[in-house]
């Protein structure tokens, strides 16, 4: 009698553990699916780890209890059917959520797709020649050529901008380059460097940029304009300053501007000497200035100088008459109130299936020229940029909407766009149903549209809605510029 009843409790425990293990496995895959679709490692790392450990623990307990059940019970026909149903349930759950995870890996369908794309397209290049006063720009290009097998002839899609400290050490670098390989195929890349994040250059390959192979955009003259001699000379003239160097290709300037010939370029020096102060001069140009002193007159080194043609003069007039907000229909610009020379632009770098991939650019001359600030401001997510606001050169908010308008996310920066992260709303607020919410036929999970924050005094407020133009919302506030948010309960 005791022998027949002894398996009862181990069998009941095993059934209970089997159900709980399946539930933990389902929750594990659910969180993996959410992470693959929307990203947010900080949000999902804890639940994924917990459910994984509980699932593994459940399987271990099942194996232990299996040896406590007699062979006669394990061979019972009814139990065999239940044993067959268990793996079937795991197969169904795996296929269901596995299919969702695979779908998020399809290009433009989720966070996982962008991570796969970044893995295939992004490369880290070790930077060994990062001192400009010793190696000039040639050292950086040599490091890139050795790792990426680049040809000698490169072109710029955007200005080549870099910053260096008082010792000539590189502090940042942004540009977009393109070329044709040996097979004649077009190759493009976004290049950025931020030693505070990584001591290697980030290269995003095969991105969408404007390419026309215009001679004015050749990169090769930059080697002469930013050699070690010129960098050292610039540092000696401006001791103790952080310097910015911007290569803009071939441009035309007033001769009255501070224009200098590259050392050893006697032809350009003679051309400059023969130009009157009210005339213009064109050439491949590198601009040196102090980003912290907007009153300082920039120094322009040029090579290949020439008198401008009528067409070049007209282009120069068009450039200076452009309004600061000149941009494509999908780009967004924001200029600081009271500082109209300083502005930010979210510029489309790639597009497909109604969504956009953006880069963040900055201007300090009213929109005449722009330089790369962040090659991936939305952490790999795609959509439609639908808002941007800055309170100063450091603090700002950016908004990205889904192509269908059924969700939108707000991002915050505290260093002028160099690093940007999505705001984190308190999760407990997104699980509380209110009477008004239920009367409207809504539940907390319906609220997926984050509106751009508004400043009231020293407090930022944000509305979370269920659709783009909904009048019903959940309210949040932040007293620290958007680092932390608190929920404002809706009165019943």
pLDDT computed for residue 290 by the predictor: 86
Determine the average pLDDT of the residues in 437-455. Answer: 73
Mean pLDDT in residue range 325-329: 45
For residue 339, name the pLDDT band (cuts at 50, 70, 90). Answer: confident
Per-residue pLDDT tens digits for 278-307: 577 888 999 998 877 767 788 889 998 887
Structure tokens at 276: 């009157």
Please write the tens of the pLDDT for every residue from 353-371.
Answer: 556 788 999 988 888 888 8
The phi, psi pair for 115, rounded to 5°, reads: -70, -40
pLDDT at 164: 94
- Alpha-carbon distance of 316 to 252, in angstroms, equals 7
Please state, in angstroms and rounded to a whole number, the distance separating the CA atoms of residues 184 and 389: 43
Higher local confidence (pLDDT), 279 or 169 = 169
Give per-residue pLDDT as tens, 216-244: 899 999 999 999 999 999 999 889 899 99
Res. 132 pLDDT band, cuts 50 70 90: very high
Evaluated on CA atoms 178, 253, 343, 196, the torsion sign reads positive
pLDDT-derived band of residue 3, with 50, 70 and 90 as boundaries? very low
pLDDT at 457: 83
Confidence at residue 4, expressed as pLDDT on a 0 to 100 scale: 46
Lowest-pLDDT range, 13-27, 84-98, 320-334?
Answer: 320-334
pLDDT of residue 86: 74
Q: Which of 31-35, 51-55, 104-108, 134-138 has the lowest mean pLDDT?
A: 104-108
Q: Is the pLDDT of residue 320 over 50?
A: no
Residue 76 above 70 pLDDT? no
Task: With a cut of 70, say whether residue 312 has pLDDT above it.
Answer: no
Lowest mean pLDDT among 108-117, 266-275, 377-386: 108-117
Nearest residue to 149 (alpha-carbon basis) of 137, 141, 159: 141
**Lowest-pLDDT choice from 270-279, 281-290, 343-352, 450-459:** 270-279
Q: Please say if the pLDDT value at position 326 is more than 50.
A: no
In our burial notation (b when 16+ CB lie closer than 10 A, e otherwise), range 294-311 reads eeeeebbbbbbbeebeee
More confident position, 72 or 218: 218
What single string gives the DSSP state of each residue in 405-472?
SS-EEEEEESSTTSSEEE----GGGGG---HHHHHTT--GGG--EEPPPEEETTEEEEEEESSTT-S-
The mean per-residue pLDDT over the stretch 313-329 comes to 47
- Are 316 and 308 spatial neighbours (Cβ–Cβ below 8 Å)? yes
Give the pLDDT confidence score for residue 208 in this predicted structure. 63
pLDDT mean across residues, the chain: 80
Q: Supply the pLDDT for residue 131.
A: 94
Q: How confident is the model at residue 381 (pLDDT cuts 50, 70, 90)?
A: confident
> From CA 74, how far away is CA 473, in angstroms rounded?
56
Say if residue 273's pLDDT is above 60. Answer: yes
pLDDT at 223: 92
Higher pLDDT, 60 or 69: 60
d(CA 407, CA 424): 15
Q: Which of 309-323, 343-357, 416-430 has the least mean pLDDT?
A: 309-323
Question: What is the reported pLDDT for 492?
Answer: 47
Q: Scanning the structure block, which residue is given the tokens 């009477």?
A: 435
Q: How confident is the model at residue 464 (pLDDT cuts 50, 70, 90)?
A: confident
What average pLDDT score do residues 181-201 get?
A: 85
Say yes or no to pLDDT of 46 above 90.
Answer: yes
Reported in sequence order, the residue ranges of 95-230 that DSSP labels E, i.e. its strands, are: 122-126, 155-156, 160-164, 170-180, 186-193, 200-205
CB 142 within 8 A of CB 149: no
Kindly state the average pLDDT of the residues 303-331.
57
How high is the pLDDT of residue 168? 94
Sorting pLDDT into bands at 50, 70 and 90, what band is 323?
Answer: very low
Q: What is the pTM of this model?
A: 0.53
């Amino acid at each position: 009698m005791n022998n027949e009843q002894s398996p009862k409790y181990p069998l009941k425990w095993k059934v209970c553990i089997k159900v709980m293990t399946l539930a933990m496995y389902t929750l594990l895959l659910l969180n993996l699916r959410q992470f693959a679709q929307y990203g947010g490692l900080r949000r999902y790392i804890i639940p994924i780890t917990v459910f994984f450990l509980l699932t593994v623990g459940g399987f271990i307990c099942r194996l232990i209890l299996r040896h406590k059940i007699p062979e006669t019970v394990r061979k019972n026909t009814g139990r065999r059917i239940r044993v067959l149903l268990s793996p079937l349930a795991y197969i169904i759950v795996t296929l269901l959520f596995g299919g969702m995870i695979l779908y998020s890996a399809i290009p433009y369908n989720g966070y996982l797709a962008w991570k796969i794309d970044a893995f295939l397209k992004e490369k880290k290049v070790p930077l060994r020649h990062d001192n400009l006063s010793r190696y000039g720009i040639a050292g950086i290009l040599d490091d890139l050529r050795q790792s990426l097998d680049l040809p000698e002839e490169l072109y710029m899609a955007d200005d080549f901008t870099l910053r260096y400290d008082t010792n000539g050490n590189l502090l940042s670098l942004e540009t977009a380059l393109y070329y044709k390989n040996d097979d004649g195929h077009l190759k493009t890349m976004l290049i950025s460097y931020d030693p505070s994040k990584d001591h290697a250059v980030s290269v995003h390959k095969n991105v969408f940029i404007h390419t026309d192979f215009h001679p004015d955009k050749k990169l090769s003259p930059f080697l002469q304009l930013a050699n070690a001699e010129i960098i050292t000379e610039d540092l000696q003239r401006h001791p103790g300053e952080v310097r910015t160097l911007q290569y803009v290709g071939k441009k035309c300037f007033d001769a009255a501007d501070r224009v200098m010939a590259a050392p050893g370029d006697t032809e350009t020096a003679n051309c400059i000497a023969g130009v009157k102060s009210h005339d213009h001069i064109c050439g491949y140009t590198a601009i040196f200035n102090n980003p912290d002193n907007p009153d300082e007159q920039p120094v322009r080194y040029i090579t290949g100088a020439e008198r401008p043609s009528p067409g070049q003069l007209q282009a120069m007039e068009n450039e200076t008459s452009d309004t600061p907000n000149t941009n494509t229909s999908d780009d967004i610009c924001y200029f600081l109130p009271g500082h109209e020379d300083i502005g930010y632009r979210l510029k489309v770098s790639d597009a497909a299936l109604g969504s956009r991939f953006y880069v963040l650019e900055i201007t300090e001359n009213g929109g005449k020229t722009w330089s790369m600030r962040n090659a991936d401001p939305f952490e790999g997510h795609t959509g439609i940029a639908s808002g941007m606001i800055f309170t100063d050169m450091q603090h700002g908010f950016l908004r990205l909407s889904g192509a269908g308008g059924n969700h939108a996310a707000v991002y915050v920066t505290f260093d002028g766009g160099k690093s940007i992260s999505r705001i984190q709303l308190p999760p407990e607020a997104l699980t509380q149903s209110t009477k008004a919410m239920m009367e409207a036929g809504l539940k907390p999970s319906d609220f997926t549209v984050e509106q751009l924050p508004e400043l009231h005094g020293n407090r930022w407020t944000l509305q979370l809605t269920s659709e783009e133009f909904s009048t019903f919302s959940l309210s949040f506030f932040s007293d620290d510029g958007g680092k932390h948010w608190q929920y404002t309960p809706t009165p019943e």
